[in-house]
Each structure stands twice: as C-alpha cells, then as structure tokens.
Chains A and B, each alone.
Chain A
C-alpha cells in the first residue's frame, strides 16, 4: 500500500486538553500536509511542512516532521468541541498526487 499509517485511529479527549496525532509514511517526500475533514464533507488544508523543516506552527496547531524516522505529528492545543473531525496526513508523490494516511478520528467532549 502507498498509504501511510496514522495513530491513534480514534482519539477522544476533554475540551481544553491537547490532542496529538501521529503519521508515518514510506517514501521520500518533498513535503507533508495535514488536512481536516468534518463528517461527510470535503477536506480542509491545515498546514504544510517541507522536508527541510522540523517544526511548524499555525495558531493552535503544531506540526513536527522527522524525515529520518519518516514520521510526523500534529498537536492541537487547548482543544475545542469544534475541533471534532477526522485528521489526515498526506504526502505528495510526484505530479501533485497526494497520498493520504488512514486518518485519526478526533472527538472533543465538552
């Protein structure tokens, strides 16, 4: 399979807590991206981290990338109920093709 692995597959936390999701991939990459998907909807781009970057921040999001381990993590701080969604990592594999990980279903309990 070309797809990467994400863990956990499902995560349920209390509002206000931090949520961490991990992603591993198999091939060399130019960049790694994280997307969010609300139930039954399309994907929304969250953040892109290039292969020469190790960490990137955007608001309450923090992404790390370890190319030696072929892994990335997404941290959402001070979670809110509205953060409930599925989160996918994706790697770009030539000609703009994105290959998605299995996703993490995040539930924020109020």
Chain B
C-alpha cells in the first residue's frame, strides 16, 4: 500500500488565493521530504528539500516566499502556494525516504489556478 500520502489530489483555486498541499509519511518517520513540480509531458523538477524542525532548502530559481514549506513533524510536510497565479498551475509531487529504502512518492496534487 501507499507509504506516502498526498492531499488533496487535485485543487482548483482562484488567482490570488493560497493553497496548501499536505504530504504525510504513513508508517515511518521522514526527517527529509522533497517537493517536486511537473509540467505536462515534462520531467520532475526539484523545488525544495523539506527538513523537519528547520528551514527548507530551496533550489535555485524557486521563490521561497511564494512556495512556503513547513515540516512541523516527522510525518508531515506542507507546501503552501501563496498568491497563486495561473502560471503556478502544475502537478506537485512530494517524496520521502524510508530508512535504507528508495524514495517513496505521493500520488501528486494537480493544481489549477483560474
């Protein structure tokens, strides 16, 4: 079964509003989670590394103030897209690593900003 749960699976919001996406590791603790963004028919681009109890590490070109990441517990990381615009419409995927295992991915969140 799924070991990483992502919620919601899809969301439609109006331009200017904020959207929060949750990523949970279901039966293991994840000190590090990763957030990716994927445009249609393209690859996954790493946005940031979410570290439990500390600030996220953002990749070059990713706006920290726009994509807020909070890793408040060992099983939950959240990505908030603030003041969303149509160009933020994308597929957002989180992942987490279980000890000595490959990364497990959530099923992604399809964000559409109208």
Among A33, A45, A102, which residue has its beta carbon within 8 angstroms of that of B42?
Answer: A102
Set of chain A residues within 8 Å of B95, measured between Cβ atoms = 43, 98
A97 to B42, CA, bound (A): 18
Among A42, A45, A88, A97, which residue has its beta carbon within 8 angstroms of that of B34?
Answer: A97
User: How many residues of A are counted as interface, with CB atoms below 8 angstroms from the partner's CB atoms?
Assistant: 21
User: How many residues of B are counted as interface, with CB atoms below 8 angstroms from the partner's CB atoms?
Assistant: 23
Q: How many contacts A-B (CB < 8 Å)?
A: 50
Among A43, A48, A97, A103, which residue has its beta carbon within 8 angstroms of that of B93?
Answer: A43
Q: Which residue of B lies closest to A105 (CB)?
A: B41
Tell me if B49 is interfacial: C-beta within 8 Å of chain A: yes
Q: A42-B105, A43-B44, A97-B49 are in contact. List 10 more A-B contacts (CB 8 A).
A: A3-B43, A41-B107, A41-B108, A95-B49, A96-B34, A96-B97, A96-B103, A97-B34, A97-B46, A99-B46
Query: Could you list which residues of chain A lie within 8 angstroms of chain B, going by C-beta atoms?
Result: 3, 33, 35, 40-45, 48, 88, 95-103, 105
